[in-house]
Amino acid sequence: MEEFFYQATIYLGAAVIAVPLAARLGLGSVLGYLAAGIAIGPVLGLTGAETEDLRHFAEFGVVMMLFLIGLELEPRALWAMRDKLIGLGGMQVSASTVVLMGAAMAMGQPWHVSLAVGLALSLSSTAIVLQTLSEKGLMRTGGGRAAFSVLLTQDIAVIPILAFLPLLGTYAIPQFAADGSISREGAGGHGGGHGSLSLVDGLPGWAVALVTLAAIAFIILAGIYLTRPLFRFIHASNLREMYTALALMIVVGISFVMTLVGLSPALGAFLAGVVLANSEFRHEMESDLNPFKGLLLGLFFITVGAGIDYRQFLADPGDLIGLALLVIFAKGAVLFIVGRAFGLRRRRLWLFTLSLAQAGEFGFVLLAFSTQLNVLPAALSEKLLLVIALSMLITPLLFIAYDLLSKRMGEPLQEPEPDEIDEEGPVIIAGIGRFGQIVNRLVQASGFKTVVLDHDMEAVQLMRRFGVKSFLGDPTRPELLKAAGIAKAKVFVVALDDPEGVVKMVSYVRRAYPDLHIIARAKDRNHVYELYQAGADDIVRELFDSSVRAGRYVLENVGLSEYEAAQAAQTFYNHDRQNLRDLAQHWIPGVPASQNPAYIERAQELEKAIESAIFEMAERKRKRSSEAAE
C-alpha cells in the first residue's frame, strides 16, 4: 500500500507541476505530460517496472476518447463532411503513409514493418493542434477548419488501422485449422491463455464472423433501445454520481464485449458513441467522462515519457533529431500538395501544412500495439517513440514559423474569439436572425432585459451597429448558457435556423432546467411534433402566423368585413394549435405522415372540425345581421 501511495504521489505531483508550466509557456498539456514523464523517469529515476502496467491501464483513455469522438459525430454530420473527410483527410493519411513507408524501406526495413511505421507516423497530434489553434484563435479560419477536418479523419482512421495491424503480425496471424476452426499461434496470450475469455476461439470461420457481427449489432441496438430507459431509471434515483457510474459502465461493458470477440475495444466505443450522438443524455455522458478521459490520457503520456530510453537519445541525438525533422518535412510536403489540390492558398495553406506536420499521440498507441503483435522490433519501436516525441516538441516552433510567415503576408484574417458574457437577464434568446430580432425588439421595448446569443459573427456585428447588444458564441454549448444565467432565467427562446440543433437544445435545456419556460422556433409540422416530444412549452412555426394573416386579407377582399375576417382567422388559429397537440399523439418519428394511416384519418377529422367551426361562426353572424335588418 505504501508503494502505491508513493507512486501515485510521484505521478500526480509531476503532472500538477509540469502541465500548468507547459500551458503557460504555450507548449500545450500533452507536452507537459511528456516532460513530466521524462523528468520522473529517465532524469530522476523515480519510476520503476510499474510504468508498463500503468501504460496498459491508461490506454483505456484512448477508448474513452474515441467514444467521445463518436458522440460528436452524428451520422448526418459525417455525411455532410464526406468531401473533406474522404478527400482532404483520406488523401493526407494515404499519401503520408506511402511516403513514410517508402522512406522506411529506403532505410532497409521490410515492407510490413515499413507499412506499420508509415501508418503510425501519418497521424498528427489532435491534442496539441486543436489546443494551439484554439489558443491562437485560428480555429475559425479556413486553414484551421481544414486542419480540423484532417484531424477528424485521422481519429476515425485509427479504428481501421487498429483492425489492420494484426494482419501484419509475424506471429499473431490467425490460422485456419483443417476442421475450419481458428487458432492464434504465438499470439502472446490472446485466446487460449490461462484465465482468458473469448467467444470465438476454436470456432469455425463462419461462426466467428456471425459472432462478431452479432456483437456489433448488440452494441448498436443496445445504444438505441437500452440507454434511454437506463438513464431514466438512474434519473429517478436523484443521485448525481450514478450518472457517472452508468457512463463508465457503458464504455467498460462495450470494451469487454469487443474483447470477447477479438476486436478492438476502441472500435466498439466509437460505434456506441456514434449511435448515442442523438441521445438527449449525450451532454451528460460527455461531462461525466471528460475528466476520466483527460486524466487517463495524461497518465498515458506520462508513462510514455517515463518509459523513453533517455540514454538512447544521448547516445545518438543527431540521428533522432534528424529523423524527427525528416518526418516533419515529409508530412509537410504531402500536406502542402494536398492543401493546394483542395484550393487552400497563402495563410490557409501554410497554417494547414505547418500545424499538422508532426507525428501524434495516436502514434504511441499504434507503436505499442504493433510491438505487442510482433510487427515492430522492440528496439525500433523505442527509437520511433523518441522520434514522435521530438516531432511533438518541435510543433510550437512550427506555429511560430506560421506567425512569422503570416506577418510577412499581412495581417491574418481571423474571426474573433467567443465573447465573455458579462450580463444576465430573465429572457435568453438563442439566435439573432430575422426571427430572433423581432422577439428581442418586442421584449426589450416592453421593458424586459434580454441576453442574446448567436454563433454568426456577421449577425452579431450587424446588431451591434444598430445598438442591440448580443454575444458571439455557440449557444448549444452548456457552459455558454450557464454563463448567460440560464439557471436564473424565466424564459428561454430558441430562435436558431437549424431544426436539428433546435430539437437538441430544447431536449438538453428541458432536462437540465425542468422549470424553465422554453419557446422554440419550428420549421414545419413534423418539427413541431419533435419539439413537443423534446419538451418545448410554446412552439412557433416560421410561416404559420404570416400565412394566417395573408388568409385574413383574402377574406376581407372577397366579401367579409374586417371584423368577420379577424374572427375567422382567430378561430382557425385556435383550432389549429389544439389540433397540433392532438396529432402529436398519432405522429411516429421517422415515418412520413403519408404512410401513417392513423395520422391521416385523425388529420381529416380535425380538418372537418375546423371547417365546421368557422362555418358555424359565419352562419351565426349572418343570422344576427338578418335579425338586425328586420
C-alpha 317/C-alpha 435 separation (Å) is 62
Residue 140 has pLDDT above 80, yes or no: no
Query: In the prediction, which pLDDT does 326 show?
Result: 94
pLDDT at 117: 93
Alpha-carbon gap, residue 73 to 76, rounded angstroms: 8
Inform me whether the pLDDT recorded for 71 exceeds 70. Answer: yes
Region 408-435 average pLDDT: 69
Band of residue 191 on the pLDDT scale cut at 50, 70, 90: very low
Residue range 407-432: average pLDDT?
A: 68
H-state helical runs in 420-456: 434-445
- Those residues with Cβ within 8 angstroms of residue 67's Cβ, 6 or more apart along the chain or in another chain: 251, 254, 269, 270, 272, 273, 289
559 φ/ψ sector (left φ>0, alpha ψ -120 to 50, else beta): left
Q: Give the integer Cα–Cα distance in Å for 469 and 450.
A: 9
> Percentage of residues in the chain with pLDDT exceeding 90?
11
Helices (H), 416-475: 434-445, 457-465
Q: Which of 510, 440, 450 minimizes the C-alpha distance to 484?
A: 450
Q: In this predicted model, what pLDDT tens digit does every residue of 157-180 receive, in sequence order?
A: 876 887 788 777 644 444 444 444
- Confidence band, pLDDT 50/70/90 cuts, at residue 192: very low
- Cell numbers for 420: 465573455
- For residue 417, CA distances in Å to 6, 136, 149 come to 42, 9, 20
Residue with grid cell 508530412, as numbered in its chain: 331
Question: Would you place residue 79 in the very low, low, confident or very high pLDDT band (cuts 50, 70, 90)?
Answer: low
pLDDT tens by residue, 206-237 = 777 788 788 888 888 888 788 878 887 887 77
Parallel, antiparallel or unpaired: strands 182-183 and 175-176 = antiparallel
- What does 387-405 look like in DSSP terms, one character per residue? HHHHHHHHHHHHHHHHHHH
Q: Look at the block and give the residue holding cell 466498439.
A: 268
Predicted TM-score (pTM) of this structure: 0.53
Mean per-residue pLDDT, 366-391:
85
Query: pLDDT per residue over 596-627, tens digit each?
Result: 777 777 777 777 777 777 777 666 666 665 65
Does position 413 have pLDDT exceeding 60, yes or no? no
pLDDT tens figures, 236-295: 777 777 878 888 888 888 888 887 877 667 667 777 787 777 676 777 777 777 777 777
Q: In this predicted model, what pLDDT tens digit does every residue of 18-57 receive, in sequence order?
A: 878 877 776 667 777 878 888 887 777 777 666 766 766 7
Among 176-185, 348-357, 516-525, 560-569, where is mean pLDDT lowest?
Answer: 176-185
- What's the pLDDT score for residue 518? 93
Instruction: Select, from the ranges 21-35, 101-115, 427-441, 543-557, the one with the highest average predicted confidence (pLDDT).
Output: 101-115
pLDDT in tens, 286-335: 777 777 777 777 787 787 777 676 777 788 888 899 999 999 999 999 99
Percent of the chain surpassing pLDDT 70: 81
102 confidence band (pLDDT: 50, 70, 90) = very high
What pLDDT does residue 175 have? 45
**What would the DSSP string read from start to end of 280-347?**
TTHHHHHHHHHHHHHHHHHHHHHHHHHHS-HHHHHHSHHHHHHHHHHHHHHHHHHHHHHHHHTT--HH
- Please indicate whether residue 77 or residue 377 has the higher confidence score (pLDDT): 377
pLDDT bucket at 17, cuts 50 / 70 / 90: confident
Beta carbons within 8 Å of 129's beta carbon, 6+ residues apart:
147, 151, 355, 356, 395
Name which of 533, 478, 522, 529 is nearest 499 in CA terms. 522
- The residue-averaged pLDDT of 498-509 equals 86
**What one-character DSSP code corresponds to residue 516?**
S
DSSP characters over 256-276: HHHHHTT--HHHHHHHHHHHG
